[in-house]
Chain A
Amino acid sequence: MNTAATPTTVARSLEAYLTERSSGRRLLMPYVTAGVCPDWLELVDAVIDAGADAVEIGIPFSDPAMDGPTIQEATVVALETGMTPAHCLHRLKESQFGVPLIAMTHYNLVYRYGHERFARDLFEAGGWATILPDLPLEHASEWIDTAAAANLENVLLAAPVTSDERLRTVVDATGGFVYVVSTMGTTGARAGVDDAASVLASRVKALTNKPAVVGFGISNAETAVAAAAKSDGVIVASALMRRILDGSSIEEAAQLVADIRAGLDAAYTP
């Protein structure tokens, strides 16, 4: 297990943690759908060992309108195993992973769970933040306040179409980092990350010192290195879930993360 971080012993500030970790190197945050395979917790462990700075845990929702085909498929598989938010948080709490966890889900599951209860249980599960792609900043303040009271942050997304004026509000209101949406599409690995990612990452960096991390469309070391040129790091989701859904072992899947880690470290050394 990665021992570089000792999140449970420090006051949780994902922003401070990621800022420190991105000094002279690039951040790598893999995404794992809770329940995508029976040993999904081992997968989380494996991607941490492979060099993850933090791990996004996807809590499966029945109508993942913001997700592409791979995450949808992972969601269906996970829901069929009976995965629920409570079960997910319970298993994470038992596991006590060594890096910050970030819960990524659709807002309805948090709403139904109850803001305060979800915040408390996520914190106890080792969660540092949430990413709720269908909770835009207009509707997010209540959750952000509750999360903050529980020592959690809420990450907001920035898209290539986000106006300059709105982008300023997004980078001010986001917690932890700015999630840079690299393409106009939904989540899914793509052959190349479009220039829109670099342009947007540059726009974000011009406005804030908060880390800017590119998600959507990171499929291998090459795309990760390209996406990290103007940003502080990358999120790898669909490509990792694709491997698991196609029957790869935990080790084979984690190798993707190790390859990306190696690629980023080779390209960006202090």
Chain B
Amino acid sequence: MTLTTPNPSSMPAAASPEQMGEPDAQGFFGEFGGRYVGEPLIGACMEVEDAFVDAWADPEFHAEFLHTLNTYGGRPSPTTECGNLSEQLGLRLLLKREDLNHTGSHKINNVLGQALLAKRMGKTRLIAETGAGQHGVATATAAALLGMSCTVYMGEVDMQRQALNVFRMRLLGTEVVPAMSGSRTLKDAVNEAMRAWVSEVGDTHYCLGSVMGPHPYPWMVRTFHEIIGIEAREQVMELTGGLPDVAVACVGGGSNAAGLFAGFADDPGVRLIGAEPAGGAAAGRGVPAIVHGMKAYFMQDEVGQILEAESISAGLDYPGLGPEHSHLAKTKRAEYYPVTDDEVLDAFQLLSRSEGIIPALESAHAIAWVTKNAADMQGQTVLVNLSGRGDKDVEQVQEILER
């Protein structure tokens, strides 16, 4: 196992890459994105956009963000060479270890960025939606750190699936509110959080957890996660002397994938792969919808009602794909493939046994895609973003395996 440390000062200097650049003035990546929200939220979105643009151009904000990421979030995260599994699969497997971040996933990057931004905007309260609870825990953590109050909306079904994360959030001083509508999962938590934001916009920042929602969120969240790709690129270069052939990440809304892809989007030789849950494969079905403030690929029926995603991992249980990913899918710069729950369970156990790393069920989707397609990638360098650790999923997996 080899650890490398990139030069942190390289982060703010990274220019927006050509492939994953800024959206247009209306918030579109190609034909996807926009700001499809009600009039009461338009001003709030504009306020966030102005604040973000202003902050991101301010070296002091950068310094504060980076300092917090490094001294509190645990960055830079290492890149790990997986010797055993590489040998077994006939390829060179590298893991970007976002599971080693504080709170156990990549989510902390975005949350610290948004919480610092909210503070800069004079907001005193954070609200967030969460699926698996990772983003909720991360938001609760940032709120505790910065002395802000916090409310997290979580589908009632997810609250049962991830009871431990619910307790974690409460321990951190956050109020957890069950989303009782619809499928009572992530998409309903998003609806609840947007409703709450409408009525509390004065003192409250909506800390959206993925590269989705109305402009500027998809762009801003990706930007806060670009550190993943920037670090990974340097680390892989250092480890292997070149770029990876393939960069793989799991995709629900797509935040960890967006962060990883941003580091390689302008390297045409690097295949970008998003592993979607088979029960939530928005890209695969390829029909744009306008929901949750954006135009993006969504699973929907023939008249346009949004379908409920079904996945073993609550964090990927989302029927849509962020607008920038939708654009990357449409332009074929990135490829998105479904993996089944069974394949994910196999990968979960395989990585645990082979490398001593228990991945989050979400991240196990990316591993599953690699094992499934290893025959086509013999001898290649494959970089996987290990977006989160699996502690939260161990109990659920135990129940399934011992059933």
Q: Interface of A with B (CB < 8 Å)?
A: 61-66, 68, 72, 76, 79, 84-86, 106-109, 111-113, 133-136, 138-139, 156-163, 166, 170, 181, 183-186
Contact = CB atoms under 8 A, between A and B. Distances in A.
Interface of B: 26, 34-40, 42-44, 181-182, 187, 190-191, 194-195, 198-201, 289-293, 300, 302-307
B39 A112 contact: no
Contact of B40 (A86, A107, A184): A184
Q: Which 9 A-B pairs have the closest CB atoms?
A: A112-B304, A62-B305, A185-B199, A157-B39, A159-B40, A159-B39, A161-B43, A108-B290, A65-B191
Contacts of B40: 157, 159-161, 181, 184
A159 B182 CA distance: 27
8 contacts: A61-B305, A65-B293, A109-B303, A112-B300, A134-B38, A136-B35, A138-B26, A184-B198
Contacts of B181: 72, 76
Given A62-B182, A76-B181, A107 B39 contact: no
Nearest to B43: A161
Given A63-B187, A136-B38, 6 more contacts: A65-B292, A85-B304, A134-B37, A139-B35, A157-B40, A161-B44
Given A76-B181, A112-B303, A186-B199, A181 B39 contact: yes
A136 B198 contact: no
Given A63-B291, A65-B191, A65-B292, A113 B39 contact: no
Most buried by B among A107, A156, A170: A107
A197 B293 CA distance: 25
A107 B291 CA distance: 8
Given A68-B195, A139-B26, A185-B199, A108 B289 contact: yes
B305 A66 contact: no
A142 B194 CA distance: 26
A136 B37 contact: yes
Contacts of A68: 195
Given A64-B191, A138-B26, A186-B199, A107 B303 contact: no
Contact of A133 (B38, B200, B302): B38
Nearest to B200: A184
